[in-house]
């Protein structure tokens, strides 16, 4: 299926995944790691290992920055 993946604050991508694709597959398709982002469906976070059930998701990136 075709899914619109919006990386919040960055680009929006169109990704095609297979019927058994998961949200983690969407994340990897836009060159991010499932361990550095949260995937939001209608504003609500979803487990990355869940099969994709929607045609549009948002990806929230973590930030770097000084900390001490």
Contacting residues toward another protein, per CB under 8 A: 9, 33-38, 44-50, 60, 62-68
Cα(38)–Cα(20) distance, rounded to whole angstroms?
A: 20
Residue 45 Cβ, how far from another protein at the closest point, in Å? 4
Closer residue to another protein in complex, CB, 19/63: 63
Q: Is 29 helix (H, G, I), strand (E, B) or coil?
A: helix
Shortest Å distance, C-beta 35 to another protein = 5
Name the residue among 44, 31, 39 with its Cα closest to residue 58. 39
**Nearer Cβ to another protein (9/14):** 9
Nearer to another protein, 17 or 46 (CB): 46
Q: ∠ CA(28), CA(32), CA(36), 5° rounding?
A: 120
């Amino acid at each position: 299926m075709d899914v619109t993946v919006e990386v919040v604050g960055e680009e929006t991508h169109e990704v095609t995944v297979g019927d058994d694709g998961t949200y983690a597959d969407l994340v990897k398709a836009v060159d991010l790691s499932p361990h550095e982002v949260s995937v939001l469906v209608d504003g609500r976070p979803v487990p990355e290992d869940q099969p994709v059930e929607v045609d549009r998701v948002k990806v929230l990136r973590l930030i770097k920055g000084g900390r001490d």
